[in-house]
Amino acid sequence: MEKLNFIYNRKSIRKFKDEKVRHEDLIEIIKAGMQAPSAHNVQNWHYVVVESKNIIEKIAKIITEKHSKIIDVINDEEKTKRFNKMIKYYTFFKDAPALILVFGSSYEPTGIDLLNKIDDNESQNFIDVQPGIQNIGATVENILLAISALGYGGCWMTGPLFAKKEIENFIALKDNDFSLYALIPVGVPLKDRNRVPKREAIEDKITFM
């Protein structure tokens, strides 16, 4: 359906041209992210937009250093090999001209106190669906769609979050209630055409009642 091309044309981009992302476009991308739905409209998100190449490289270095610390304590050769191979996927954003870090604050679902009166398991089942984190997922998807619609490329990254605490300490947000949930590099795709990964058959993923 042509009207939905902005969705079907989106793909993950990991290689970028050495071209700046317009500051005005980054503002529009964040505005789009803020249009995402959130439980009780709490909008429990905060965005750190990095346009400094120096800072982007420092964040990549933080991840590399944490990666090395983990390697040092792994006593399994096969696991060490696998983890070593992943570092390039955790730090490829260092070649992007801009980086968006998406933070989220805590959110307690309405009605938890009432469910506690019924059964502890009832309240835990409700907490397990993590509505606060679902809000962050929604804003990230909006951001990715906006990046693509404006002619840029981006990628939803959670792999580097093994260095989450170190990155948070480096960014040093004033509000300690916010946690880092995703990194999104932004830039002009190196290739004009990137293959969209094949999706599974809709018949295998849908149930009508």
Domain count, the chain: 1
Residue 121 CA to residue 180 CA, distance in Å, equals 28
Question: Is the pLDDT assigned to residue 183 strictly greater than 70?
Answer: yes
Q: Please indicate, yes or no, if residue 166 is contained in any of the structural domains.
A: yes
User: Is there a contact between 101 and 46 (Cβ–Cβ < 8 Å)?
Assistant: no
- State the amino acid at position 25 in one-letter form: D
Q: Can you spell out the DSSP letters for 172-186?
A: --S-TTEEEEEEEEE
In a domain, 204, yes or no: no
Q: Is the confidence at residue 15, as pLDDT, over 90?
A: yes
pLDDT band at 3; cut points 50, 70, 90: very high
Determine, yes or no, domain membership for 134.
yes
Separation between Cα atoms, residue 180 and residue 164, nearest integer Å: 6
73 part of a folded domain: yes
Cα distance between residue 109 and residue 133, in whole Å: 11
Q: What DSSP designation does 191 have?
A: S
Domain assignment present for residue 44? The answer is yes
Give me the CATH number covering residue 102. 3.40.109.10
Q: Note whether 61 and 121 are within 8 A (CB).
A: no
Domain membership of residue 122 (yes or no) is yes
Which domain covers residue 123, as residue numbers?
A: 11-190
Residue 116 lies in a domain: yes
* pLDDT beyond 90 at 120: no
Examine residue 4 and state whether it is found in any structural domain, yes or no: no
Provide the whole-model pTM: 0.90
